[in-house]
């Protein structure tokens, strides 16, 4: 049976095995999908061993996405621009590296949440790996404007410069949080890791335009702190990143198996489990 896995450190709490098992059942694909713990200094060794034992592909998570980028012998344009790889596919004489995170985000926004990104004014909070991975797919969906705001303004400015050639007709700019005062957005995406430390990006009030959506790449039971703060600031709708998790998995599954799974029942089941936990 074809073998796949998610590799990371830590990995025990990954939901990817459950998601891919559901996709495989639903599409009738015969495959096995495991969770693989790699030592922090043993990523390449772990990947080589998995491949030697029948591995066909891997999802890659913290802290190995940059190492996976380096390991790939061929990369998709979206992986090149993301500067990180979350999906590896083993071919006869090559290792293909892809990044499905940003496409997963866009699909969650458009297909699951019904938001038309074309013409949108988007605010992206953060300038780390999560933000960079989202930029190409977001710009490809033709927003009117995309602002990158970050605590360290220089990092946001560097990303805006890097992606300027991909902006098309969109206005792409960068700033710090203070400079957002008085501006309005249709979509605000939290791609900072602030909530891991129990913090929130210090945002000025009044950011949400009428009907705006606040989206947190983090997920959990009920509202995340970012979602709660967004509601209090007048966001019409809020969403967490569970849909992005399922959609990036579906993108990887489609790359490996050439069959697109139906994400809706898988997302609904995960939501039920998280809400009931």
229-248 residues in contact with ligand ATR (CB under 6 A) are none
What CA–CA distance (Å, rounded) separates 121 from 9? 36
Strand order in the sheet with 74-75: 31-37, 2-8, 55-60, 87-90, 95-98, 74-75
Closer residue to ligand ATR in complex, CB, 152/171: 152
Burial track 49-66 (b if 16+ CB lie within 10 A, e otherwise): ebbeeebbbbbbbeebbe
**Applying CB under 6 A, which of residues 130, 203, 214, 229 lies at the interface with ligand ATR?**
130
Strand order in the sheet with 208-216: 171-175, 145-149, 121-125, 185-190, 208-216, 237-239
Least spacing, CB of residue 243 vs ligand ATR, in Å: 18
Least spacing, CB of residue 24 vs ligand ATR, in Å: 28
Q: Do residues 242 and 217 touch, judged by C-beta distance below 8 A?
A: no
Say whether residue 180 binds ligand ATR (CB under 6 A).
no
Closer residue to ligand ATR in complex, CB, 157/194: 194
The piece of 11-19, 46-54, 101-109, 129-137 that touches ligand ATR (CB under 6 A) is: 129-137
The piece of 21-29, 46-54, 166-174, 191-199 that touches ligand ATR (CB under 6 A) is: 191-199
38-97 residues in contact with ligand ATR (CB under 6 A) are none
The piece of 75-83, 103-111, 123-131, 203-211 that touches ligand ATR (CB under 6 A) is: 123-131
Closer residue to ligand ATR in complex, CB, 228/236: 228
Say whether residue 194 binds ligand ATR (CB under 6 A).
yes
Q: Which positions are catalytic? A: 65
Least spacing, CB of residue 199 vs ligand ATR, in Å: 4
Closer residue to ligand ATR in complex, CB, 31/242: 242
Binding mask 198-217 for ligand ATR (x = CB under 6 A): -x-x----------------
The three-state DSSP-derived secondary structure of 88-150 is EEECCCCEEEECCHHHHHHHHHHHHCCCCCCCCEEEEECCCHHHHHHHHHHHHCCCCEEEEEC
Say whether residue 129 binds ligand ATR (CB under 6 A).
yes
Closer residue to ligand ATR in complex, CB, 14/192: 192
Closer residue to ligand ATR in complex, CB, 83/234: 83
Residues 6+ apart with CB under 8 A from 149: 123, 124, 125, 156, 174, 175, 176, 177, 179, 180, 201
CA neighbor of 78 nearest in space, from 101, 53, 58: 101
3-state secondary structure of 161: helix
The piece of 4-12, 38-46, 87-95, 188-196 that touches ligand ATR (CB under 6 A) is: 188-196
Residues in contact with ligand ATR, counted by CB under 6 A, come to a total of 16
Q: Do residues 33 and 50 touch, judged by C-beta distance below 8 A?
A: no
What CA–CA distance (Å, rounded) separates 253 from 29? 10
Which residues make up the interface to ligand ATR (CB under 6 A)?
Answer: 126-131, 150-152, 155, 192-194, 197, 199, 201
């Amino acid at each position: 049976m074809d073998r796949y896995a998610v590799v990371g450190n830590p990995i025990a709490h990954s939901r990817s095995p459950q998601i891919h098992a559901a996709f495989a059942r639903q599409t009738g694909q015969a495959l096995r999908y495991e969770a693989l713990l790699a030592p922090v200094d043993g990523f390449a060794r772990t990947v080589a061993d998995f491949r030697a034992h029948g591995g066909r592909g891997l999802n890659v998570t913290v802290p190995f996405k940059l190492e996976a980028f380096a390991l790939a012998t061929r990369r998709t344009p979206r992986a090149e621009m993301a500067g990180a790889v979350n999906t590896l596919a083993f071919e006869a004489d090559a290792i293909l590296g892809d990044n499905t995170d940003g496409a997963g985000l866009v699909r969650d926004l458009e297909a699951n949440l019904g938001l038309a990104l074309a013409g949108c004014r988007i605010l992206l909070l953060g300038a780390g790996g999560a933000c960079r991975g989202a930029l190409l797919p977001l710009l490809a969906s033709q927003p009117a404007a995309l602002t990158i705001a970050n605590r360290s303004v220089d990092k946001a400015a560097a990303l805006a410069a890097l992606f300027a050639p991909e902006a098309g007709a969109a206005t792409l700019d960068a700033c710090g949080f203070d400079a957002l005062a008085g501006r309005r957005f249709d979509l605000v995406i939290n791609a900072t890791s602030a909530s891991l430390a129990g913090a929130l990006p210090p945002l000025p009030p009044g950011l949400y335009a009428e009907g705006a959506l606040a989206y947190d790449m983090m997920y959990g039971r009920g509202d995340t702190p970012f979602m709660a703060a967004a509601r209090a600031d007048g966001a019409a709708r809020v969403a967490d990143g569970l849909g992005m998790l399922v959609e990036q998995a579906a993108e990887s599954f489609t790359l490996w198996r050439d069959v697109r799974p139906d994400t809706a029942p898988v997302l609904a089941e995960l939501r039920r489990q998280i809400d009931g936990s």
